[in-house]
Chain A
Amino acid sequence: MADLAPPALIAVENLERVYQMGDERVVALAGVTTQIQQGSFVAVMGPSGSGKSTFMNVLGCLDQPSAGSYRLKGVEVGQLPATELARTRNREIGFVFQQFNLLQRVDALGNVELPMLYAGLPKRERRTRAEAALARVGLGDRMRHLPLQLSGGQQQRVAIARALVNQPACLLADEPTGALDSRTSLDIMALFQALNREGVTVIVVTHEPDVAAFASRVIRFRDGKIVSDTEQTPRDAAAALAEWSEAA
């Protein structure tokens, strides 16, 4: 009775994304088929231009596939209208970007409240939930700081709090440690791992094997296709962090 098994959180089939540049066709995704289960921690790797960001943008409903199917929680979302896509991004997806993408003139709390603003939550609830999310990422004492008054690692934590605050089905991070030093990267990966242990599904794009080592599954792309998909025993980021501190 395989039908009774819960559907995968993410199921894509023959996903294609083609850019038409004048006469030229640029194939960013050339037929991707895979499933990602609820609660997994996936690293997406591959050379530059292999389609990793395009894949993440489609998974995050920021972009739409040219062909193929994308089901999120069993619901086909590949061809939804713009308003529905926005709703899905708001409810089901938490994005973390390489450049943090915080609003510069708003403090940490304000940035974390932003997704709830579009969810239409009342002020009081937004405030308590934003405070809880910031406390969760270890910034309980920095809530009133503007992005410019925070370090890169702290800004990325604010961004993670913002991604988490609407309790999305899935966290999507495209090179989240790309702008951070190795020690801070370790911090962020430890946070992702902790969140994943609490049940949050995490998908991280990275170029660094050191970062991918913390995931339990690694998907490799080349030329818009998946070329390998392996399970692995993740390295413990908290332990790595402790080692680092000893060495220093």
Chain B
Amino acid sequence: MSFLDAILSSLSAIRAHALRSVLTMLGIVIGVAAVIAMVAVGNGARERVNAQIQSLGANLIIVIPGNITQGGARLGTGNASTLTDADALALKTEIGSVQAAAPLVRGGVQVVSGGQNWATSAIGVDLDYFVARDWAVERGREFSDEETRRGGQVALIGQTVLRELFGGNDPVGAQIRVRNVPFEVIGVMSPKGQSMFGQDQDDVILLPLQTARQRVVGTNRAKNRSVNQIMVKIKEGEDLSAAEEEMKRLLRQRHRIQDGRDDDFSLRNMAEIQATREESARTMAMLLLSVAAVSLVVGGIGIMNIMLVSVTERTKEIGLRMAVGARPLDVMGQFLIEATTIALIGGMIGIGIGIGIAIITAMKAGWPLLIDPLVVVTAFVFSGLVGIVSGFYPAFRAARLDPVEALRAA
């Protein structure tokens, strides 16, 4: 019997029990879909993290109050009032590799413009912020030195705030109220997109640090000079970890922390954040991989089970085929091909579903669709192997049947 004939005949046998065959395929379908989706989602996420780190600047170090390196997650981090704008100034003036050190405060605010109303976050910044984040004003102007120092009532708005409050209109010169404090809009920031953590970075309004701290987000603060974080940009070509060491030493000294005691601040750089993200992506991948492995094993057992049932059900057919000249090898091949075909169809459906999941995730998450053809081929070959392995024993049993006995079967 030719190979093609054997495949055609197995397809007709599979069609004869369409529902049963589909249920049998389920394990393979889930396993393969999980593998395809897993790899695509992993690649997409990594690609986006890389792009974000690129956009945020790999040479950025963020200083936040409190200690997060000791004892895992500690609540209240970022709210401790141990960092001040004086710290920022010191970092900038005393460490040669620091290009910019931007102290900032932030808080959720309600912004009102005419009849429009929008909840967003306000960030109080000084001029270093624009350097550190490499963020330019698209329309209008930046704060003046005078405005940041003296606390002018001027504001820069992000693209999302522009859209929500002003629609398509020019906001420059417009009056808005932030927590009931009047501000004049002096410019619009260029679009920034989503952050690594999925936040809309354009849903923001920038205020001069002093004004923000005193009149908008800082009113309850015990220390008037404290900030939520300092964004430090290290000069191009400088060693990041060396700069971090210097910053640590300087801050410990300024905060009068004795040797052997924990820092009252934490440094985080983008490489670290990336490592955390990759770590969690790896955990996710391992999880999906075990789901895939379990599904493939369960799928294989399912196929073996159904093939054993099929051999029993079709004993008489096997006897007849032997009577008209099927060799044991032909019978063996027939059931092996049938098991493999079921597995391969399951594999193809799984590949389709997996690619579908990858497309939907890529669309929702807004990262590029990255499907590795090698992974698709591997998944396909693997499902075929599962079919061969699980079909082997049932096929062997069929081939060993005695023709006379088989023909006598009901």
Number of interface residues of A (CB under 8 A): 26
A227 contact set on B, CB distance < 8 A: none
Segment at the A interface, from B225-233, B247-255, B316-324: B316-324
* A95-B323 in contact (CB<8A): yes
Distance (Å) between the CB of A26 and the closest chain B CB?
14
| A91, B324: Cα distance in complex, Å | 9
B327 contact set on A, CB distance < 8 A: 82-83, 86-87, 118
B317 contact set on A, CB distance < 8 A: 103
* B325-A87 in contact (CB<8A): yes
Within 8 Å of chain A (Cβ to Cβ): is B404?
yes
Q: B325: which of A89, A101, A106 is its contact (CB, 8 Å)?
A: A89
| A37, B251: Cα distance in complex, Å | 112
* B12-A90 in contact (CB<8A): no
* B322-A89 in contact (CB<8A): yes
Q: A57: which of B2, B9, B328, B404 is its contact (CB, 8 Å)?
A: B404
Distance (Å) between the CB of A92 and the closest chain B CB?
10
A62 contact set on B, CB distance < 8 A: 322-323, 403-404, 407
B257 contact set on A, CB distance < 8 A: none
User: Which residues 82-140 of A have a CB within 8 angstroms of B?
Assistant: 82-83, 86-87, 89-91, 95, 97, 101, 103, 105-106, 114-115, 117-120, 123
* A97-B2 in contact (CB<8A): no
Within 8 Å of chain A (Cβ to Cβ): is B146?
no
Within 8 Å of chain B (Cβ to Cβ): is A52?
no
The chain B residue with its CB closest to the CB of A57 is B404
Within 8 Å of chain B (Cβ to Cβ): is A60?
yes
| A103, B324: Cα distance in complex, Å | 12
The chain A residue with its CB closest to the CB of B400 is A82
User: Which residues 177-199 of B have a CB within 8 angstroms of A?
Assistant: none
* B328-A90 in contact (CB<8A): no
Distance (Å) between the CB of A103 and the closest chain B CB?
6
The chain A residue with its CB closest to the CB of B324 is A115
Question: Given A82-B328, A83-B328, do A120 and B1 touch, yes or no (CB 8 Å)?
Answer: yes
Question: Given A86-B326, A89-B323, do A63 and B404 touch, yes or no (CB 8 Å)?
Answer: yes
| A18, B334: Cα distance in complex, Å | 32
Within 8 Å of chain B (Cβ to Cβ): is A162?
yes
Apart from A87-B325, A87-B327, A118-B324, what 17 extra A-B contacts exist at CB < 8 Å?
A62-B404, A63-B403, A63-B404, A86-B325, A86-B326, A89-B322, A95-B323, A97-B407, A101-B319, A101-B320, A101-B323, A105-B13, A106-B12, A117-B1, A117-B5, A119-B325, A166-B325
Report 26 cross-chain contacts, Cβ distance below 8 Å, ordered by A residue: A62-B403, A62-B404, A63-B403, A82-B328, A83-B328, A86-B325, A86-B327, A86-B330, A89-B324, A90-B324, A91-B325, A95-B323, A95-B324, A101-B320, A103-B317, A103-B320, A115-B324, A115-B325, A118-B1, A118-B326, A118-B327, A118-B330, A119-B325, A120-B1, A120-B2, A123-B5
Q: Which 4 A-B pairs have the closest CB atoms?
A: A90-B325, A118-B325, A115-B324, A86-B327
